Chains A and B, each alone.
Chain A
């Protein structure tokens, strides 16, 4: 059974490597994601961000503008995820100790 597991793992690894060969190379201006106009003739969001990031927020680091301003909801969700993780640790681990205290 272990052999089958390794076989599946290797086959999927080869499949991923084969699929990655079809990706556009980095910084390719002709790739669909990097074009000014998307295939359905609407302006591309990323190009808009790159052109207007400094004009809109006077912040030289356009990654920060994208994360915290244009995509503020996304960062809010990430913060909420971390908050949930902390609260779950709090609830699971501290409640256990309280039950033990009551037994003593």
Chain B
């Protein structure tokens, strides 16, 4: 299904474009405080950049960039980052996901701590969405008889 493409234009263009898609995805995640965007959108674009290489270079070569087993692990880590932020706030004395208590460990005011908490959560969502979308693609390929 995803053998290496014979066309040099396809492989070259996807190789050049993929890092820029990743860069823009990171911009979407980290600039979500000021413009439309956030974890879900940025994570999807990160997954798109990884899947572009998988489609153009073939599944075997793409393993060098992003291992097959890494997807599920990254997805679990992303969800853990989200829950971990909530439980960390609980350990610091607040309610679950009440970010202003992050000011006790971060050198910022309580109001800015909420902004930082939003950023942590968005990063967690981005990692989870990226890992799981790639993992779903890889899992679907497992049924491929080739």
The B contact surface, by secondary structure, is helix
CB of A47 within 8 Å of the partner chain: no
Chain B residue nearest in CB terms to A73: B97
User: Which of the residues A61, A67, A86, A94 comes within 8 Å of B34, measured between beta carbons?
Assistant: A61
> Dominant SS at the A interface?
helix
A97 within 8 A of B: yes
Confirm or deny: B140 has a beta carbon within 8 angstroms of a beta carbon on chain A. Answer: yes
Interface pair A64/B136, CB less than 8 Å apart = no
- CA distance in complex: A72, B98 (Å): 9
- Are B112 and A86 neighbours in the complex by a CB distance under 8 Å? no
Which bracket fits the contact residues of A? 20 to 34
How many residues of B are counted as interface, with CB atoms below 8 angstroms from the partner's CB atoms?
Answer: 40
Residues of chain A with a CB closer than 8 A to B118's CB:
57, 59, 64-65, 68-69
Which residues in B have some Cβ–Cβ distance to A below 8 Å?
32-36, 38, 40, 71-72, 75-76, 78-79, 82-83, 86, 96-97, 99, 111-112, 114-115, 117-118, 121-122, 124-125, 128-129, 131-133, 135-136, 139-140, 142-143
Q: Nearest residue in A to B71 (C-beta to C-beta)?
A: A86
10 A/B residue pairs, CB under 8 Å, sorted by A? A57-B111, A69-B117, A73-B97, A79-B79, A82-B132, A83-B76, A93-B140, A93-B143, A94-B142, A97-B142
B83 to chain A, nearest CB (A): 7
- Within 8 Å by CB of A72, from B121, B136, B140, lies B121
Within the assembled complex, what's the spacing in Å between the Cα atoms of A86 and B71? 9
Q: In the bound complex, how far is the Cα of B99 from the Cα of A82, in angstroms?
A: 23
